[in-house]
Structure 1
């Protein structure tokens, strides 16, 4: 049976499918946001269909955690975008 785990140092401690580096939010975004059938995602990521559905079930069973995770990732992306557009300050 598929397990969802959190491990510090792997995906920043975000929930993921045990034995992989595939996050719950990644699966959700590929299936739901990307409008891809679960079977296609399972095939592309070399997962079982049960793995995909377990990740989706975890997403829906933990709405607050997933909302926080999405917000954190959105903030990280914004920060990286700002940093990549700003030249480093080399004048000292």
Structure 2
């Protein structure tokens, strides 16, 4: 036989499932809207903006670090930028 506590528990479970489903649906809709806006922004920027970004490197591609003779910082020699000092070998 169904008691009041069982009916109350059933109503709470149904309510939790209902509000949980609404929350998941809302989160998915926001994610879709953000992805669509990002696609619109990248398409509106044109080819100049897309070519300015460096191409992504493969996941297994790595460089050995070398110590800069001028500032002493360890940098990747093929992708290093100048440290701002006049004798920096990576600023050329």
Per the TM superposition, whether the score is higher than 0.5 is no
Report which structure shows greater RCO (CA 8 Å, sep ≥6).
1
Larger Rg: 1 or 2? 2
Instruction: Using structure 2 for the length normalisation, give the TM-score.
Output: 0.29
Instruction: Using structure 1 for the length normalisation, give the TM-score.
Output: 0.29
